[in-house]
Amino acid sequence: MAFVLQSNVLGVPTTTDVTAIAPGTSNLPGVVLEAQLGEIRQGWDTALGSGEFIYLKGVASLAVGDVVSFNAYTGATTRWAGTANTGVPLAVAVSTPTSSQYGWFQVGGNAIVTCSGTVAAGDAAFFSATAALKTAAVAGKQVLNIVAASANGATVGTTALASTQAVYTLNRPFVQGQIT
């Protein structure tokens, strides 16, 4: 499963490409990498449908499906460690850029997300462990604008997901803000 950007232009890396070239830096004579930090683009996948992606800097130890918090202004990402009541925006890694690389992260549509425990379609999402979600409630650590669209280990298209993966529907998810 690989999303294809619908608004692709010359110089924009695909959703699974990882590059060490900083946005706006010439990478060939007369060619400037088109994607900019915080830029949002639409994509399409035959099994998952339409998706929305934001261009950000990577982080160490990142795996596809990891949940990250991010700063769209600086482009910095952090594997989400579950700090409660922060209201920070979240995204899902679709590639594995390191801290010196850049790539696309999913913020909208159906995404394959790292999870733990038993997940069923329609379940809410909460922090589980670093960069992963679960369905059991954790005070102050609910992820809003996200819902499980499949059980963990489901088949997507012709690919069987691992028991630590499920499809979640994202709509620019963020961590629950202060509740007290």
pLDDT bracket for residue 178 (50, 70, 90): confident
Give the total number of structural domains in the chain: 1
More confident position, 89 or 24: 89
Does residue 141 fall inside a structural domain? yes
d(CA 150, CA 172): 19
Q: What are the CA-CA distances from residue 143 to residues 52, 125, 177 (Å)? A: 18, 5, 10
Give me the percent of the chain exceeding a pLDDT of 70.
89
Question: In the prediction, which pLDDT does 23 show?
Answer: 72
Domain that holds residue 106: 4-175
pLDDT bracket for residue 25 (50, 70, 90): low
Does residue 180 fall inside a structural domain? no
pLDDT bracket for residue 11 (50, 70, 90): low
Count of CA atoms in the C-beta half-sphere (13 A) of 128:
19
Evaluate whether 131 touches 84 at the Cβ level (below 8 Å): no
pLDDT tens digits along 82-130: 999 999 999 999 999 999 999 999 999 999 999 999 999 999 999 999 9
d(CA 148, CA 59): 25
Question: In the prediction, which pLDDT does 18 show?
Answer: 81
CB atoms within 10 A of CB 170: 23
pLDDT bracket for residue 34 (50, 70, 90): low
Three-state DSSP state, 87? coil
What's the angle, vertex CA 171, arms to CA 166 and CA 176, rounded to 5? 90
pTM (2 d.p.): 0.89
Evaluate whether 65 touches 133 at the Cβ level (below 8 Å): no
Question: In the prediction, which pLDDT does 24 show?
Answer: 65
Say if residue 158's pLDDT is above 80.
Answer: yes
- Could you tell me whether strands 49-57 and 40-45 are parallel, antiparallel, or unpaired per DSSP bridges? antiparallel
CB atoms within 10 A of CB 169: 18
- Nearest C-alpha neighbor of 58 from the set 158, 131, 7: 131
More confident position, 59 or 2: 59
Instruction: Give me 166's structure tokens.
Output: 């499920």
Does residue 74 fall inside a structural domain? yes
